[in-house]
C-alpha cells in the first residue's frame, strides 16, 4: 500500500468516526429521562410560588424552545446542529445557564483540565515507564522487585481513597497545601503562576500516583518479555552495555503498546477528571459535563462530548500516522 | 557538568515555593483572596460552584447566588424571618390600595437611597425595570413571575419617590410578590442609568454590578468557586443601610468542595458558616474544634426553620394510590423514628400536617389543629395520631446510649421534635389494605386486587440532596419490611423535576415543593391547587403546579376563596387550616419532617450567629434575610 493510500484510508476512517460520534452525541442526550425545558420551568414555577398559569407556562415553553433551538422536528434540529457544529463549531447557548454560550463555558474550563491532566499523564507515563523498564530489565535482581512492589501497591488503591489520603496527609495533618484551592484572578504573572502550581499540586500528585502504578506494571511485564527476545541475547553476545540493551533494544520495542496507551490517554484527557475536580474543587470539563447531564443541558453535553470525540479520534489518527515512523515493520508492510 | 534535570527542576521548585510561600504567609491571618481574615466573613456557597459566574444580570437567572441576593440587591419589602412579617426596605411604608378590587397600588420609596456608583435610586429605576421585564419577557429568564403578575403598561410615576401599578388579578400578596417572601423577591430593581446604555440588556452580563445593597463585588473567580464582596464606603445610604452597621468589611462566598474537604476546612477555621452538612461530619468537626457549633446545644441540634418540609408525594390519581386507605396504609407503615435515627441520627422535627412545624407556623396551624389531629379517626374508627412521638423518640435515643444532657425536656420536646406524627402500625396498614382488596402474596409482598404483583416506584434525590437520599432509602426499607415491594430510585435533579411534573412517571417521590409555607400566607404553596392544574392520570404533559395531584373540589373551593381574602385576615387563615385538614384526613401528602438544614457555624472569628436561643433571623446564608446576620454578628477580636 502506498503512503497516500495509507494516509487517505486513515483520514477517511477518522472522518467517519467523527460523523458517527457527532450523530450519536446529538441523539443520546435526548434519551435522558430529563427535559431541560421542564426542568427550567419547574425552577421558575417554584420561584413564582406556583403563580404561573398554564397559559403563561405554554407561552414560556414556546419562548424557551425558540431560545434553546429546540423548535421543529428532530431531523431539522439535527441538520441545524450539524450545520452549526461542523461549519461554525458553534454549540449554541447553555440551557441551564442561558444566555452563556457553550463554547465560552468549555473554553474557560478546558485550559485547567488540559494543564492538569496533560502534565500529570505525561509525568506518570515517563516515570512509570522508566521505573518499569528498569524493573523488567533487571527482573532477576532483588532491588528491582522493590520497584515492582511500588507499582503493585499503588495500582489497586481506589482513586478516591488515594486522593483523600493525600488530602489528609498534606493538607490537614501536615498542612503544607490548601484543602481547596483558591485560584487567583487577573493578569498572569510569575507569582500567580506559582500560586496556580501550588494550588494544583495535590490534584496533580494524586493523578500521577494513580497512573504511575499501572505504567510500572505494564512496562515491567513488556520489558521482561522483550528481554528474552533473541535480538536482545544477540546484542548481549555482541558485548553491548546494559544501558544500551535496556534502552535501545528493550525499551524501544516494549514501548510501542505504551505509546498507544499514552495517545489514547491523552485523547481521554478532554473528558476531564470528575472525581479529582469534585474532591479538589478543581475547575474543569468533568464538572461541567456532570452538571450538564443532571440538568439535561444538551448543548453543553454536545460541546463537551464532541470535543472529547474529536480528541480521541485525532489521537487515534496521530497514532496511525506516527506508528510507521516508530516501527519499521509497519513501514515495510 | 550539571545535570539537565537540575535546570529543569530548579525554576519549577522556585515557582512552586513562591506560590506556597505567598499563600502560606497569608495563612495565619489573611484569607486565600488576600483580605484580613478577622474582617472577612467566609461562607460556604449554597449552590456550590457556579457554572456561569460572569453573568451577573439579575434579570437573567444566575445572579441570585454567591451573595447577590443577600448583599448586592435590595427589595421594596423584606421578610423578617424571625416573625414571618414583612417590613419596608426600599419602600417607605406599606403600599396604599387604590381600588376595592385590590388591583391598584400606590407605593412610596425612601428618599436618600443611592446606587453604589453614587446615583440616586428613584421611581425611574422601578419603572425602567418593569418596562424592561415586559419588553424582553421572551428573552430574559428571570422575569416570568412579574410579567404574569403585573398588568402590562399599568405603571406610572407620581413623583420621584412615588409610583402606581396595577396587578392582573386581585392581589392580597402584593408586598410578598413585589418584595421578599421567605428567601427572595421576584422583583429586583436594576439601575436605569446603567442598563439603558446597553445595546442588548438580554445578553448584558453586568459584571461587577452597580448595587443597591451595601456591598459590591470586589473580585470573583471566573471558574465560579468564589466571590468576594466589599462593604461600600457609603453603606449608610444603601438599600438597607438603615438596618444597622454591617460588621464584616468583606464577605467571601466560597465552595470548599466535597463534604470531606469542607469538614476539614471548617475544623481549620477556614470558613465561618456552612449550609447543609451531614450530622456525622458536624459531630466529627465539633470534636476537633470547640468553635464549631450546631444550631441548638440539645437535640435535634440542627436548624429546622426552613419554609419547606419533606414529604412523600403520591400520584393519587392512579390506582391503587387513588384510595385513601392505601395512602394511609403507606403512612402507617413508615417507622419514622427509625427512619430519622438511621438517616439523620434522630436530628429531625416531625411534621404531620402538610407544612413545616416552625415557631411561626406552630401557633398558626399546628396548635390550633392539635385537637383535629388527636381526634382524627379513619373509616374503621382507628386513631392514627401519636401525640407522644417526641417522647417516644427520646426513649429510643436513650436506649441507644444518647446522653441525657443532649436531650430536650418538658416543652422543649415538642419544640424540638414536633407536635407528633402518625403511629407505626403495619397491622392496621394491612387491615386498611385488605379492606380495598389488597392482600399479601406468597412472597410476602402486597399484590393488587386482581392478584398481580404491585411494585411501587419510589423516587428521591441522589447525592445532590444527601438528607433526602438517606431518608428515601430508609423509608424504602421501612415499607419493604411492612410488605410493600418498593423499587427505590435515586435520581439527578433533572429527572427529579420530570417525575414531579409528569403524571405518567410518578407513583411516589420525596419532595418539598408543595409544602413551603413560612407564615400565614399558605397560598405560596397551595395556590396551584386548581382544576386547571389537573391532567389525565397517565398524562405525559408536564404539570404547571399541583404536584400533589389534588382533585378534591373542596380544596379547590377553599383555595379560590382564599385568593379573595387579605392574607393576614382570620378568614384567610381559616381557609388554610381547612385545606390542611382536608389534605391530612385524605392523606393526600405523607408529610414527614421539617427540612433539617443543619447550618453549623464556626465562632473563631465571628460570634452572635442566629441560633435556637437567639433567633433574630433564619440562619440561612443564601436567603436575603442574611442581611440580619450581617448586621448582628460581632468580631471575636482574633
CATH of residue A273's domain is 1.10.3720.10
Q: Could you tell me the pLDDT band of residue A22, with boundaries at 50, 70 and 90?
A: confident
Closest CA to B420 of B236, B591, B588, B278: B591
Measured CA to CA, the distance from residue B441 to residue B446 in angstroms comes to: 6
Q: Are residues A163 and A253 in the same domain?
A: yes
Between the CA of residue B89 and those of A199, B74, B108, what are the distances in Å? 42, 7, 11
Say whether pLDDT at A291 is over 60: yes
B51 with A38: Cβ contact below 8 A: no
Closest CA to B311 of B471, B426, B473: B471
Residue A254 falls inside a structural domain: yes
> Chain B partners of A177 at a C-beta cutoff of 8 Å?
20
Work out the mean pLDDT of chain A and round it to a whole number.
Answer: 85
Closest CA to A179 of A207, A199, A194: A199
Residue A199 falls inside a structural domain: yes
Residue in chain B lying closest to A41 (CA): B544
Of B148, B265, B500, the CB nearest to A53: B148
> Chain A partners of B221 at a C-beta cutoff of 8 Å?
182-183, 185
How high is the pLDDT of residue B19? 43
A279 with B254: Cβ contact below 8 A: no
- What is the number of structural domains in chain A? 2
Interface test with A, best of B174, B261, B288, B307 (most A CBs within 10 A): B261
Angle of CA points A132, A273, A149, to nearest 5°:
25
How high is the pLDDT of residue A42? 72
Across B448-473, b (16+ Cβ under 10 Å) vs e yields: eeeeeebebebbbbbeebbbbbbbbb
The shortest C-alpha distance from A102 to chain B (Å) reads 10
Measured CA to CA, the distance from residue B286 to residue B279 in angstroms comes to: 10
Q: Kindly report the pTM of this predicted structure.
A: 0.86
pLDDT in tens, A231-257: 999 998 998 999 899 998 999 888 888
SS3 call for A155: coil
Residue A210 falls inside a structural domain: yes
Of A66, A67, A97, the CB nearest to B52: A97
How high is the pLDDT of residue A40? 74
Interface test with B, best of A38, A50, A116, A304 (most B CBs within 10 A): A50
B17 with A194: Cβ contact below 8 A: yes
B15 touches chain A (CB under 8 A): yes
ipTM: 0.80
B511 touches chain A (CB under 8 A): no
Q: Are residues A84 and A110 in the same domain?
A: no
B144 with A56: Cβ contact below 8 A: yes
A108 with B222: Cβ contact below 8 A: yes
Identify whether the C-beta of residue A93 lies closer than 8 Å to the C-beta of residue A67.
yes
Q: Are residues A75 and A118 in the same domain?
A: no
Q: Are residues A192 and A260 in the same domain?
A: yes
Q: Are residues A164 and A302 in the same domain?
A: yes
Q: Are residues A71 and A152 in the same domain?
A: no
Measured CA to CA, the distance from residue A121 to residue A265 in angstroms comes to: 7
Q: Are residues A267 and A170 in the same domain?
A: yes
Query: If you compute the radius of gyration of chain A from its CA atoms, what whole number of angstroms results?
Result: 25
Q: What share of chain A is helix, strand, coil (3-state, %, to 5)?
A: 80, 0, 20
**Beta strands in B344-386, from DSSP E residues, in sequence order:** 385-386
Q: Are residues A201 and A265 in the same domain?
A: yes
Q: Could you tell me the pLDDT band of residue A324, with boundaries at 50, 70 and 90?
A: confident
Judge residue B197's burial from the number of C-beta atoms within 10 Å of its C-beta, 0-12 exposed, 13-18 middle, 19 or more buried. Answer: exposed
Measured CA to CA, the distance from residue B153 to residue B179 in angstroms comes to: 20
The partner residues of B456 in beta bridges, in order of sequence, read B486
How high is the pLDDT of residue B28? 55
pLDDT in tens, A71-114: 778 888 888 888 888 888 888 888 778 778 888 888 888 889 88
Length of chain A: 333
Of B226, B270, B513, the CB nearest to A179: B270
Between the CA of residue B371 and those of B377, B383, B522, B525, what are the distances in Å? 12, 12, 21, 24
Residue A25 falls inside a structural domain: no
B139 with A67: Cβ contact below 8 A: yes
Mean pLDDT, residues A316-326 taken together? 82
B269 touches chain A (CB under 8 A): no
How high is the pLDDT of residue B371? 97
pLDDT in tens, A168-205: 999 999 999 998 888 888 888 888 889 899 999 999 99
A167 with B533: Cβ contact below 8 A: no
Residue A2 falls inside a structural domain: no
Of A38, A100, A167, the CB nearest to B497: A38
Residue A177 falls inside a structural domain: yes
Closest CA to B515 of B365, B351, B309: B309
Pairing of strands B309-314, B508-511: antiparallel
Peptide bond into B320 cis (omega under 30): yes
Q: Could you tell me the pLDDT band of residue A332, with boundaries at 50, 70 and 90?
A: low
Sites in chain B below the pLDDT cut of 50: 1-27
Measured CA to CA, the distance from residue A77 to residue A100 in angstroms comes to: 20
The label of the residue with cell 444566555 reads A99
Of A49, A96, A99, the CB nearest to B202: A99
Across B521-559, b (16+ Cβ under 10 Å) vs e yields: bbbbbbbbbbeebbbebeeeebbbbbbbbbbbeebbebb
A174: left (phi over 0), alpha (psi -120 to 50) or beta: beta
Domain that includes residue A247, residue range: 104-331
How high is the pLDDT of residue A267? 73
Judge residue B154's burial from the number of C-beta atoms within 10 Å of its C-beta, 0-12 exposed, 13-18 middle, 19 or more buried. Answer: middle
Length of chain B: 638
How high is the pLDDT of residue B16? 42
Q: Are residues A196 and A322 in the same domain?
A: yes
Residue A284 falls inside a structural domain: yes
Residue B423 phi, psi dihedral angles, 5° rounding: -65, 150
Peptide bond into A99 cis (omega under 30): yes
The label of the residue with cell 406556583 reads A50
How high is the pLDDT of residue B361? 95
Q: Are residues A321 and A262 in the same domain?
A: yes
Residue A234 falls inside a structural domain: yes
Q: Are residues A76 and A142 in the same domain?
A: no
Q: Are residues A79 and A125 in the same domain?
A: no
Amino acid at each position: 500500500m502506498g503512503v497516500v493510500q495509507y494516509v487517505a484510508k486513515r483520514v477517511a476512517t477518522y472522518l467517519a468516526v467523527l460523523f458517527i460520534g457527532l450523530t450519536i452525541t446529538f441523539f443520546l442526550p435526548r434519551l435522558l429521562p430529563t427535559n431541560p425545558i421542564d426542568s427550567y420551568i419547574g425552577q421558575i414555577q417554584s420561584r413564582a410560588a406556583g403563580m404561573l398559569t398554564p397559559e403563561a407556562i405554554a407561552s414560556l415553553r414556546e419562548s424557551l424552545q425558540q431560545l434553546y433551538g429546540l423548535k421543529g422536528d428532530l431531523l431539522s434540529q439535527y441538520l441545524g446542529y450539524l450545520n452549526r457544529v461542523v461549519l461554525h463549531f458553534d454549540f449554541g447557548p447553555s440551557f441551564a445557564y442561558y444566555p452563556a454560550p457553550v463554547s465560552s463555558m468549555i473554553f474557560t474550563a478546558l485550559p485547567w483540565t488540559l494543564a492538569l491532566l496533560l502534565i500529570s499523564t505525561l509525568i506518570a507515563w515517563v516515570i512509570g515507564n522508566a521505573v518499569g523498564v528498569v524493573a523488567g530489565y533487571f527482573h532477576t535482581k532483588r532491588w528491582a522487585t522493590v520497584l515492582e512492589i511500588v507499582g503493585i501497591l499503588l495500582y489497586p488503591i481506589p482513586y478516591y481513597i488515594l486522593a483523600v489520603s493525600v488530602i489528609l496527609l498534606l493538607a490537614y495533618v501536615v498542612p503544607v497545601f490548601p484543602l481547596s484551592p483558591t485560584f487567583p484572578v487577573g493578569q498572569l504573572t510569575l507569582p500567580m503562576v506559582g500560586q496556580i502550581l501550588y494550588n494544583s499540586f495535590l490534584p496533580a500528585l494524586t493523578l500521577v500516583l494513580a497512573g504511575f502504578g499501572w505504567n510500572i506494571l505494564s512496562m515491567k511485564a513488556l520489558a521482561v518479555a522483550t528481554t528474552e527476545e533473541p535480538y536482545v541475547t544477540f546484542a548481549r553476545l555482541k558485548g553491548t552495555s546494559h544501558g544500551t540493551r535496556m534502552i535501545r533494544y528493550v525499551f524501544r520495542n516494549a514501548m510501542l503498546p505504551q505509546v498507544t496507551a499514552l495517545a489514547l490517554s491523552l485523547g481521554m484527557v478532554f473528558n476531564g477528571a470528575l472525581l479529582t475536580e469534585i474532591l479538589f474543587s478543581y475547575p474543569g470539563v468533568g464538572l461541567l459535563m456532570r452538571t450538564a447531564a443532571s440538568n439535561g443541558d444538551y448543548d453543553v453535553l454536545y460541546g463537551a462530548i464532541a470535543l472529547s470525540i474529536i480528541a480521541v479520534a485525532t489521537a487515534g489518527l496521530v497514532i496511525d500516522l506516527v506508528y510507521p515512523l516508530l516501527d519499521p515493520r509497519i513501514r515495510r508492510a | 557538568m550539571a545535570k539537565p534535570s537540575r535546570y529543569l527542576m530548579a525554576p519549577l521548585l522556585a515557582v512552586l515555593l513562591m506560590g506556597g510561600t505567598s499563600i502560606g504567609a497569608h495563612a495565619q491571618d489573611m484569607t486565600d483572596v488576600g483580605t484580613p481574615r478577622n474582617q472577612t466573613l467566609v461562607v460556604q456557597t449554597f449552590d456550590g460552584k457556579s457554572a456561569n459566574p460572569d453573568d451577573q444580570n439579575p434579570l437573567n437567572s444566575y445572579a441570585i447566588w454567591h451573595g447577590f441576593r443577600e448583599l448586592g440587591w435590595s427589595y421594596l419589602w423584606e421578610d423578617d424571618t424571625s416573625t414571618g412579617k414583612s417590613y419596608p426596605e426600599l419602600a417607605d411604608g406599606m403600599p396604599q390600595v387604590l381600588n376595592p378590587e385590590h388591583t391598584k397600588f400606590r407605593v412610596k420609596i425612601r428618599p436618600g437611597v443611592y446606587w453604589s456608583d453614587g446615583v440616586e435610586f428613584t421611581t425611574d429605576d422601578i419603572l425602567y425595570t418593569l418596562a424592561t421585564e415586559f419588553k424582553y419577557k421572551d428573552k430574559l429568564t428571570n422575569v416570568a413571575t412579574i410579567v404574569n403578575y403585573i398588568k402590562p403598561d399599568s405603571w406610572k410615576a407620581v413623583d420621584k419617590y412615588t409610583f402606581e401599578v396595577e396587578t392582573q388579578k386581585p392581589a392580597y400578596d402584593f408586598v410578598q410578590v413585589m418584595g421578599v417572601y421567605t428567601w427572595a423577591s421576584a422583583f429586583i430593581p436594576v439601575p436605569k442609568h446603567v442598563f439603558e446604555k446597553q445595546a442588548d440588556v438580554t445578553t448584558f452580563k453586568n459584571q461587577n454590578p452597580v448595587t443597591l445593597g451595601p456591598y459590591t463585588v470586589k473580585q470573583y473567580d471566573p471558574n465560579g468557586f468564589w466571590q468576594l464582596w466589599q462593604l461600600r464606603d457609603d453603606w449608610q445610604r444603601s438599600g438597607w443601610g438603615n438596618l444597622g452597621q454591617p460588621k464584616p468589611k468583606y464577605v467571601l462566598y466560597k465552595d470548599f468542595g466535597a463534604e470531606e474537604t469542607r469538614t476539614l476546612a471548617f475544623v481549620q477555621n477556614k470558613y465561618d458558616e456552612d449550609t447543609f452538612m451531614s450530622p456525622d461530619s458536624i459531630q466529627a468537626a465539633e470534636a476537633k474544634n470547640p468553635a464549631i457549633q450546631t444550631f441548638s446545644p440539645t437535640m435535634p441540634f440542627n436548624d429546622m426553620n426552613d419554609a419547606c418540609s419533606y414529604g412523600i408525594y403520591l400520584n393519587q390519581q392512579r390506582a391503587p394510590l387513588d384510595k385513601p386507605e392505601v395512602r394511609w396504609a403507606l403512612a402507617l407503615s413508615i417507622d419514622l423514628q427509625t427512619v430519622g435515627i438511621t438517616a439523620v441520627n434522630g436530628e429531625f422535627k416531625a411534621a404531620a400536617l402538610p407544612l413545616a412545624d416552625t415557631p411561626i407556623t406552630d401557633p398558626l396551624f399546628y396548635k390550633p389543629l392539635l385537637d383535629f389531629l388527636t381526634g382524627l379517626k379513619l373509616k374503621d374508627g382507628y386513631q392514627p395520631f401519636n401525640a407522644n412521638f417526641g417522647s417516644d423518640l427520646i426513649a429510643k435515643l436513650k436506649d441507644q446510649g444518647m446522653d441525657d444532657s443532649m436531650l430536650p425536656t418538658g416543652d422543649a420536646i415538642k419544640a424540638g421534635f414536633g407536635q407528633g406524627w402518625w403511629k407505626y402500625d403495619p397491622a392496621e396498614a394491612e387491615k386498611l389494605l385488605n379492606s380495598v382488596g389488597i392482600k399479601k402474596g406468597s412472597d410476602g409482598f402486597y399484590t393488587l386486587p386482581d392478584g398481580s404483583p404491585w411494585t411501587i416506584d419510589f423516587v428521591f434525590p441522589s447525592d445532590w440532596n444527601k438528607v433526602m437520599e438517606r431518608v428515601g432509602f430508609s423509608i424504602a426499607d421501612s415499607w419493604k419490611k411492612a410488605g410493600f415491594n418498593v423499587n427505590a430510585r435515586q435520581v439527578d435533579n433533572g429527572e427529579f423535576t420530570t417525575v414531579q411534573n409528569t403524571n405518567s412517571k410518578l407513583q411516589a417521590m420525596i419532595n418539598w415543593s408543595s409544602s413551603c409555607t413560612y407564615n400565614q400566607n399558605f397560598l405560596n404553596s397551595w395556590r396551584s391547587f386548581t382544576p386547571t392544574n389537573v391532567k389525565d392520570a397517565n398524562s405525559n404533559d408536564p404539570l404547571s403546579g399541583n404536584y400533589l395531584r389534588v382533585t378534591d373540589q373542596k380544596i379547590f373551593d377553599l383555595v379560590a376563596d382564599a385568593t379573595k381574602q387579605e392574607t393576614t385576615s382570620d378568614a384567610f387563615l381559616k381557609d388554610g387550616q381547612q385545606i390542611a385538614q382536608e389534605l391530612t384526613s385524605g392523606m393526600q401528602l405523607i408529610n414527614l419532617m421539617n427540612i433539617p438544614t443543619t447550618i453549623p457555624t464556626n465562632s473563631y472569628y465571628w460570634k452572635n450567629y442566629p441560633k435556637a436561643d437567639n433567633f433574630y433571623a433564619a440562619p440561612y446564608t443564601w436567603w436575603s434575610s442574611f442581611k440580619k446576620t450581617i448586621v448582628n454578628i460581632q468580631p471575636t477580636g482574633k
